[in-house]
Amino acid sequence: MEEYLQSALEIVKAQAGSRPMTEEEILSMVKSVASGIAALTTGQPVLGQEEAAAPGMDPKKSIKEASIACLECGKSFKVITRKHLASHGLTPEEYRAKYGFKKTQALACKSLARERRAKMKDMKLWERRQKPE
């Protein structure tokens, strides 16, 4: 098992070097990668673990500062796109309703949502709309 853990650490280290990750994400990824490597070398199916882990996540905890986890498959993104949700047979509205998000909840990580909000405030589109009267 130690060789699987060493391989998993190298993989996760490379991933953490390419994007910001929380401590919780790193630990979770090391565990899943190590068990995945062990399952592959022993010939056991790996997909069952990933499907079992994803739905157990709390929807409120799925939206983090630098990433948002898809509650259907467990993958992490900066933004959960309409195209990705279509691969699960869902629309963004259905996804929000299924997991109890507000209708106005952005399916993006907190930092990206904050940047978008600030940009819209700077643009002041609501003022431009009222002027042409």
Q: What is the pLDDT of residue 118?
A: 94
> Are residues 64 and 95 located together in one domain of the fold?
yes
What pLDDT, in 10s, does the model give residues 52-101? 334 567 888 899 999 999 999 889 999 999 999 999 999 999 999 999 99
Distance, CA of 124 to CA of 115 (rounded, Å): 14
Domain of 16? Answer: 1-53
Question: What's 125's domain CATH number?
Answer: 1.10.10.1550
Q: What is the pLDDT of residue 50?
A: 42
Of 53, 71, 94, which closes a domain? Answer: 53
Residues 50, 73 contacting (CB under 8 angstroms): yes
Distance, CA of 52 to CA of 112 (rounded, Å): 28
> Are residues 77 and 128 located together in one domain of the fold?
yes
Please count the structural domains in the chain. 2
> Are residues 47 and 75 located together in one domain of the fold?
no
Q: What is the pLDDT of residue 65?
A: 94
Of 35, 53, 71, which closes a domain? Answer: 53
